[in-house]
Amino acid sequence: MADVRKIDSRVSEIILSAGDYSAGIYTFGAVLHSFSIGGRDIVVGYDSYTPYLAGDGYMSEVIGPFANRIAGASFMMDGRRCTLEKNDGENSLHSGSRNFGSAFWKIDSAEDSSVQLSLESREGGGFPGNHHAEVVYTLTPDGRLSILYRLSSDERCPVNMTNHAYFNLDGAGDVRNHMLTLSCPEYLETTPDLIPAGRASVSSTDFDFRTGEIIGKRRNGEYDTCFVFGRERKAVLENDEYRLSVVTDLPAIQIYTGISLSSPVPGKGGRMIVPFSGVAMETEFFPDFPNHPEYPGAYTEPGKTFESMTTYQLVRK
């Protein structure tokens, strides 16, 4: 079931229900406001949509047209240099002010347990072309919440869309006590400002989560890292009661353990949002791929729509 609840003249919340599961999506930022099983909400966030407007931590937004970082806030494409906003030191992060997560989306359809949102984004911020973005959230009775991303443009443009939800299976507290398993034999080493410096094996490093590890056991749980999937493209987050599995058709996943999470506004239930309140699991192409032809990535083309799917499955053990 899809229930559309109008909040004010700008924003509605769509509540998807299927069996014991529910999910809430705001039209602002296409934000994933909640994902619950039997009343246990695993998404870190706020009780209303207004605090999301500040954009702190990109919480639960659909990021686009380009998630993650682009070095020097520029790239060459088809013989011309595209210059972006610098909003992360000298680099561009999450598309700057043109981020789709900072816009108001419209509801195209809401039926059964699915909703399609769309956005028209005019050229700006250095990203070429006028974009038509679509996001389809679908919830099934076995706890699968799928996010289908579509993007078309009247010009060629690099695309790297994701969702920036922070998850905490306890519903509150420190996420570093969670177990994380990644089907990732490699990760991207980075410069101090988190620009990729090359692929490296996870073997015998603090980045090896192939057989599962408690997040806080190494590095004090501090990760803001792009992990490269192998043959299987799957990540699993779990505690004693619940398991959240993530599968995708994208080649990598950014694991960010909320190192700098902080909000002056209380989160859900009056709880403060502080470092390690949740972990973001951002399925993606490689960061900075427009500056690295050897990295996997994708581009919109006139008349050709980019499409990608990521599915989160929440189960009680």
Catalytic residue positions? Answer: 164, 282
Q: How many CB atoms lie within 10 A of CB 130?
A: 14
Nearest by Cα to 171 from 314, 14, 49: 314
The residues with which 32 forms a beta bridge, in sequence order, are 25
Alpha-carbon distance 290 to 100, whole Å? Answer: 19
Dihedral (Cα; 257, 260, 266, 272), 10-degree rounding: 60
Alpha-carbon distance 213 to 217, whole Å? Answer: 7
Dihedral (CA of 67, 166, 3, 140) sign: positive
* Residue found by looking up tokens 């529910």 in the block: 22
**Do you find a cis peptide bond into 290, omega within 30 degrees of 0?**
no
Residue 149: both structure tokens together:
């991303």
Helices (H) and strands (E) in the chain, counts: 0, 28
Alpha-carbon distance 8 to 228, whole Å? Answer: 42
Distances (CA, A) of 131 to 87, 123, 153, 291, 310: 21, 7, 4, 21, 21
In contact, 73 and 295? CB cutoff 8 Å: no
